[in-house]
Amino acid sequence: MNVLTTNALTKTYKGHDAVKDVSMHIEQGDIYGFVGENGAGKTTLIRLVTGLAAPTSGSYRLYDVPNDSKEIYAVRKRTGAIVETATMGRGMTAIENLKLQCAITGVQRTDDELNALLARVGLDAEAIHKKAVGRFSLGMRQRLGIAMVLVSDADFIILDEPMNGLDPQGFIEVRETIQKLNAEGITFLISSHILSELEKVCTKIGVISHGVLLEEIRMEDLHRNARRRILIDAEDAQAVQSALRADGSFPEIGTEDGRVAVFGDADINRIMRILVERGLNVRSVNTLEETIEDHYIRLLGRGRIA
């Protein structure tokens, strides 16, 4: 079942398409990483699907309910979102913030239930019961923000740049919280430009740039199809390319960061034999496999095969 599906979703501001014809698919149980540079359209799309902004054209379905249906307001109660930053009283304690959230959403929760909610996101209610939120680390505040959206039993949580400003320990704490809640059945949409962190937590990614969704791919498929390449740093890169192309054994040859790149499962011993026979001077030869960051950069056209 798809929790969220968008169909050619578009938002135009003053003649500029902040989001253009985006069709994305988030299945129940996904941790969906929404990857893009600053200004790529991530926050705009999140504002559209949470009802904070109206589409210029296109549509979306939340739990298979169309966005123009009256039922959309009911299913939105299953969605919790932290857009840009969680709103909370810095001079209040965690429990006081949760009680305020209960009042805002009209949800009844006992103190024991709220303490259990804090425990779900890795916060020790007893240790922090008198501590003002303003004295929390950023990672603790992020986890409290997640607890606040869970007050209404949301099972689809949208986080906009949750890793921004976190120290390494904060990264770990927030990541472990997301993975724990996902194991309990909660689906996530996480926007970020910190690709290395998304790679550690996501089951699927969507890459967006200049408002256009370039690709959706499951992480297991990305790792399975990782582009292995051999990078050759040589005095005469053009001569190396010519020699390898003339051999005819290597279907993909290009350049990457000034080095010759041979893509796929190329035989490194054959490469070295060709270079030695041609008397070509090589400084180094390295074998690399593509990371999520490499994949993202390649999609944007940088590091493209020559």
Q: Tell me, what CATH number does 20's domain have?
A: 3.40.50.300
Q: Is residue 106 part of a domain?
A: yes
Q: Is residue 300 part of a domain?
A: no
178 plus 59 within the same structural domain = yes
pLDDT tens for residues 92-144?
999 999 999 999 888 899 999 999 999 999 999 889 988 999 999 989 999 99
Q: Is residue 302 part of a domain?
A: no
Q: Tell me, what CATH number does 275's domain have?
A: 3.30.70
258 plus 122 within the same structural domain = no
- 161 has a pLDDT exceeding 90: no
Q: Domain range for residue 273?
A: 229-288
Last residue of a domain, one of 218, 249, 266: 218
pLDDT tens for residues 38-68?
889 999 999 999 999 999 999 999 999 999 9
182 plus 278 within the same structural domain = no
The whole-model pTM stands at 0.78
234 plus 214 within the same structural domain = no
104 plus 156 within the same structural domain = yes
278 plus 171 within the same structural domain = no
- What is the pLDDT, as a whole number, of residue 170? 86
Q: What is the 3-state secondary structure (H, E, C) of the chain?
A: CEEEEEEEEEEEECCEEEEEEECCEEECCCEEEEECCCCCCHHHHHHHHCCCCCCCEEEEEECCEECCCCCHHHHHHHEEEECCCCCCCCCCCHHHHHHHHHHHHCCCCCHHHHHHHHHHCCCCHHHHCCCCHHHCCHHHHHHHHHHHHHCCCCCEEEEECCCCCCCHHHHHHHHHHHHHHHHCCCEEEEEECCHHHHHHHCCEEEEEECCEEEEEEEHHHHHHCCCCEEEEEECCHHHHHHHHHHHCCCCCEEEECCEEEEECCCCHHHHHHHHHHCCCCEEEEEEECCCHHHHHHHHCCCCCCC
185 plus 142 within the same structural domain = yes
